[in-house]
Amino acid sequence: MPSRTTLAFLSGVGTTLAGAGGVFALYRHFAGQQRAAASDLNSKLPVHSAWWRARVDKKGALLYVALGDSAAQGIGASNPARSYVGRLSAAIRHATHSSLRMVNLSVSGSTTWLCRKDQVPKLADYEPDIVTVAIGANDIIDFTAESFEKNIRAIYSALPSHAIVADLPAMWLPDRERKVAEANAIVRRVAGELGLIVAPLYDTTRRQGLVRTFRNSAGDLFHPNDRGYRVWASAFEPAVTARLTQLAADRT
C-alpha cells in the first residue's frame, strides 16, 4: 500500500497537472477569441475603406489629408468616425466652425515601405491645410533600422513643412518595446532634421498603463477601440490646434 507521503505527492502532481490543464484550456479559449476578433476586424477592412472613399470628393473650406495604416482607417473602432482621424476631423470642424474635406490615403496593413510606394505619390495631388502621418507599427515584427530610416526619410521629405507625424505607440512586450524605442529615435531625429512636428503617441499611450491599454484595445489586442482612439487623437490635438491657429493668422 502506498505511504501517506506517496499519496500526498501523487495528489500534488495530479492537482498541478489539473491546474496546468485548466490554464492551457483557458489559454486556448482566449486565443480562440482573439483569432475570432481579428477575423471580424479583417472583414471590416473594405467597409472602413469604402467609408473614407465616400468622403474624398466632398467639398470643404479646409483640406485634411491623413497617411497611415489600419489605425488611420479606424480598424477596431465601432465606426470610422470614432477613429483618431475621424475624431480629429470633427475637432477641426468644431474649432474652425468651417467645412472640411477629408482625404484619407491610409491603407490597412501598410508598412513604411508601402506608404512610401503607394500613399506618398498620391499626396502630390493635394494641397492640404492639415496633414497627419502615423506609420511604422507594421514594421516592428521584421524591423531593421536601416530600411526603416530610409523609408521614413523618403515619406517625411515629401510632406509639407506643417505636417504632423506621430511616433509609434507603446507595445508593452519587451522585444517590441526595444524595437519601438529604436524606431522612435529615428522618427524624432528625421522629423527634427526636416522641421516636422512630432505627435507624442508613444508617451500618450504609455501613460495609460497596461490595464487601461488592455481596456482601450479591440478584441484582437492590437488595434485600439473607441476609447483607445480617443487617446490617440489626444496625442495629435495640441499640434493640430497650433496648426489651425497658424492658418487663422495667415488668413487675417
Tens of pLDDT, residues 90-135: 999 999 999 999 999 999 999 999 999 999 999 999 999 999 999 9
Task: State yes or no: pLDDT of 6 exceeds 70.
Answer: no
Q: Does residue 12 lie within any of the structural domains?
A: no
Q: Does residue 25 lie within any of the structural domains?
A: no
User: How many structural domains compose the chain?
Assistant: 1
C-alpha cell at 199: 505627435
> Pick from 98, 164, 99, 155: which is nearest to 131 by CA?
164
Q: Does residue 229 lie within any of the structural domains?
A: yes
Report the chain's mean pLDDT, rounded to a whole number: 87
> Pick from 177, 235, 176: which is nearest to 205 by CA?
235
Q: What are phi and psi of 75, to 5 degrees?
A: -65, 130
**Chain segment 42-65, per-residue pLDDT in tens:** 555 667 778 888 888 888 999 999
Alpha-carbon torsion (78, 80, 84, 90), positive or negative: negative
Query: Which residues form the domain of 184?
Result: 48-250
Distance CA 128, CA 150 (A): 24
Q: Does residue 37 lie within any of the structural domains?
A: no
Q: Does residue 21 lie within any of the structural domains?
A: no
Any alpha helices (H) in 74-161, and if so which ranges?
Answer: 84-96, 112-114, 120-123, 145-157
Alpha-carbon torsion (90, 95, 99, 100), positive or negative: negative
**Chain segment 169-220, per-residue pLDDT in tens:** 999 999 999 999 999 999 999 999 999 999 999 999 999 999 999 999 987 7
For the beta carbon of residue 40, count every other beta carbon within 10 angstroms: 12
Task: Tell me the CATH number at 152.
Answer: 3.40.50.1110
Quick check: 53 and 92 in contact, CB under 8 A?
no
Q: Does residue 11 lie within any of the structural domains?
A: no
Kindly report the CA angle at 79 between 41 and 173, in degrees rounded to 5? 50
Q: Does residue 129 lie within any of the structural domains?
A: yes
Q: Does residue 40 lie within any of the structural domains?
A: no
Kindly report the CA angle at 227 between 85 and 41, in degrees rounded to 5? 70
Task: State yes or no: pLDDT of 82 exceeds 60.
Answer: yes
